[in-house]
């Protein structure tokens, strides 16, 4: 197996096991069982189980980041339409990808444990999200939509990103539990419209 293929196989199986069994429930042996690789191979790529979990999260964060990255012709698009459409598309991805919802739920659970490992994972996610969204995505969005700051009603554009992050996390955790896809989409549209245009053009 090629080096890149071996690493990808480990990440893929780890994602499945972490999603279904949690960080503590998923053993290294269970992750390796389906890959046919040795522990030595796993530890060649990832120094610990925690590092492997971080790599799985990092890959999903990058996936989210790329989905919300404006295209070269986004300057022609209204920022409200951009956030509405990208959010709705990603909610549909989440609806169809149970593992993605589960892996984020597991991350929140680990962070809430309050032990040293949970704190480490929580700090990792905060730092990674900050780097991805606020240092990478937000400046690109601001350049793609000149005057975006002035379009946000009663809320700084940077704060909108923060609020959208919290709101979207809530939708993601409840998707398939207390919310179906149609309901989640409705509430996403309400929240985004409310902050971008004062909530006048969309009513739940």
Does residue 20 lie in a domain region? yes
If asked whether residues 33 and 82 sit together in one domain, one would say no
Count structural domains, the chain.
2
If asked whether residues 1 and 82 sit together in one domain, one would say no
- Separation CA 1–CA 186 (nearest Å): 46
**CA proximity to 120, closest of 50, 190, 60, 56:** 50
Q: Give the structural domain span for 63.
A: 54-197
**pLDDT, position 97:** 92
Q: What is the dihedral of CA 190, 85, 164, 96, to 10 degrees?
A: 100
If asked whether residues 24 and 71 sit together in one domain, one would say no
pTM: 0.79
If asked whether residues 169 and 68 sit together in one domain, one would say yes
In tens, the pLDDT along 92-108 reads 999 999 999 998 888 88
If asked whether residues 150 and 79 sit together in one domain, one would say yes
In tens, the pLDDT along 10-57 reads 999 999 999 999 988 999 999 999 899 999 999 999 999 999 999 998
- Which CATH number belongs to the domain containing residue 66 in this structure? 1.10.357
If asked whether residues 29 and 78 sit together in one domain, one would say no
């Amino acid at each position: 197996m090629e080096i890149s293929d071996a690493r990808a196989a480990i990440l893929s199986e780890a994602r499945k096991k972490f999603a279904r069994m949690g960080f503590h429930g998923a053993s290294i042996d269970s992750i390796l069982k389906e890959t046919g690789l040795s522990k030595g191979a796993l530890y060649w790529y990832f120094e610990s189980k925690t590092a492997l979990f971080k790599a799985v999260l990092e890959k999903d964060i990058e996936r989210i980041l790329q989905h919300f990255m404006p295209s070269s012709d986004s300057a022609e698009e209204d920022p409200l339409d951009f956030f509405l459409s990208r959010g709705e598309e990603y909610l549909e991805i989440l609806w169809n990808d149970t593992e993605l919802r589960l892996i984020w739920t597991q991350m929140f659970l680990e962070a809430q444990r309050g032990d040293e490992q949970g704190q480490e994972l929580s700090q990792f996610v905060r730092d990674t999200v900050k780097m991805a969204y606020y240092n990478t995505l937000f400046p690109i969005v601001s350049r793609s939509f000149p005057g975006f700051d002035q379009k946000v009603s009663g809320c700084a554009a940077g704060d909108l990103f923060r609020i959208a992050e919290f709101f979207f996390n809530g939708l993601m955790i409840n998707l398939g539990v207390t919310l179906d896809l149609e309901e989640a989409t409705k509430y996403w549209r309400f929240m985004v419209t409310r902050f971008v245009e004062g909530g006048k053009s969309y009513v739940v």
